[in-house]
Amino acid sequence: MRGASAPRNASLCAAALLLAGVSLVIGFRAAGADGTTPVPQALAFLPWLLVPGAAGLGLAALARWRGGLVWAAVVLAVTVWFVRPYGPGTTGARGPVVARLDVLTSNVEFGNATDALIATVHRERPDVVFVQECDPACADKLAAHVPAASYPYRDVVRLDGSHGSAILSRFPLRPAGRIDGTMAMPGPVAVVAGRDVRLQLAHPMPPVPGGVALWRRELGRIRDLAASVRARPAVVAGDFNASQDHAAFRAVLDAGDLHDSARLAGSSRTYSWPADRASPLRTQIDHVLVSEEFSVRSARFLRLAATDHRALLVGLELHDGP
């Protein structure tokens, strides 16, 4: 660096700082770990790391820093590699289709979007509805305005604020236990075309600064549930507060041999949050995961007023064999 001009030094230092930051996050992604703040928060928006990576490349070129050019090229290549969808492109479901069902999941943000959800349920007519952040007022509205004749089977946890939740079903339900969490995560068994299908609502705490350990612990409980129902028909849906770039979320997929419906429908990078602002930093944290017995016909993200999440509507087919 001796003899280099001040602008060149500044470009070199800026490039090094940018590439070091991106390398830190990508390193955790490559190691299959989520780390601590700010790594899990940055991993949620992994594709956006291409922006500082490209800036680092440009600054390294301005500084005529050959090592930086190589470093930036490697960082960009690895980031592009991890932007690819995670997991296989099909479930491997075989045998005749015994049932078709549509599944809707929606975080209604403290119940604020309940009216919009009810309108969506009336319009789309899904067979199973997973609702997160359904407070008692939300539960009352669902009882009053979503006919019991259409959804006679329900698993509702009446809690205040973001803690409440609900599952509405056209199929018979029986209790199967709940995942222990700060926010309610019920999980009944539905009888679909004579087959038992485990339904599990997912809503772990988010990985906010100071709360990463709790987020990881609650996702670990979802992973344990997924592992316990492996090789059985299952649908795990909700606001996971995690994307495919989080190791804790990929562990859920791998433990239960589950597949992300949006990935199978070609929408693995379609955002679901935040949906109530114009921020370019968006990510997919709402998911419908399915076991090998299901194939995916479609996946649509729907905008609902008064919530920061987009709802996800997935068309599924249940097959006679995996």
Q: What is the pLDDT of residues 84-112, one digit of tens each?
A: 999 999 998 999 999 999 999 999 999 99
Task: Show contacts of 38-44: CB within 8 Å, 24+ apart.
Answer: 38/209, 40/207, 40/212, 40/215, 40/246, 41/207, 41/209, 43/243, 43/245, 43/246, 44/207, 44/242, 44/243, 44/245, 44/246, 44/283, 44/285
For 108-152, list the strands marked E by DSSP. Answer: 128-132
For the chain, list the strands marked E by DSSP. Answer: 94-107, 128-132, 153-157, 165-169, 173-174, 178-179, 185-186, 189-192, 195-202, 234-239, 259-260, 286-290, 294-302, 311-321
Q: How confident is the model at residue 278 (pLDDT cuts 50, 70, 90)?
A: confident
Averaged pLDDT for residues 43-57 = 98
Average predicted confidence (pLDDT) for the chain: 96
**Looking at domain 94-321, which of 3.40.50.10860, 3.60.10.10, 1.10.3720.10, 3.40.1350.10 is its CATH number?**
3.60.10.10
Query: For residue 194, with 0-12 CB atoms within 10 Å meaning exposed, 13-18 middle and 19 or more buried, which class applies?
Result: exposed
What are the residues facing 295 on neighbouring strands?
A: 317
Query: Of 285, 294, 279, which is closest to residue 190 (Cα–Cα)?
Result: 294
Instruction: Quick: pLDDT tens for 215-267.
Output: 999 999 999 999 999 999 999 999 999 999 999 999 999 999 999 999 999 99
Q: Give the separation between CA 73 and CA 56, rounded to whole angstroms.
A: 9
Q: Provide the CB-side half-sphere exposure for 122 (13 A, CA).
A: 10
Instruction: Quick: pLDDT tens for 6-18.
Output: 888 999 999 999 9
- 177 Ramachandran zone, left/alpha/beta (phi>0; psi -120 to 50): left
| Predicted pLDDT of residue 322 | 65
With 90 as the cut, is the pLDDT of residue 186 above it? yes
Instruction: Quick: pLDDT tens for 152-178.
Output: 999 999 999 999 999 999 999 999 999
Instruction: Quick: pLDDT tens for 113-124.
Output: 999 999 999 999
| Predicted pLDDT of residue 1 | 43
Please provide the size of the chain in residues.
Answer: 322
Report pTM.
Answer: 0.96
Instruction: Quick: pLDDT tens for 203-216.
Output: 999 999 999 999 99
Residue span(s) of the chain under CATH 3.60.10.10 come to 94-321
- More reliable by pLDDT, 156 or 2: 156
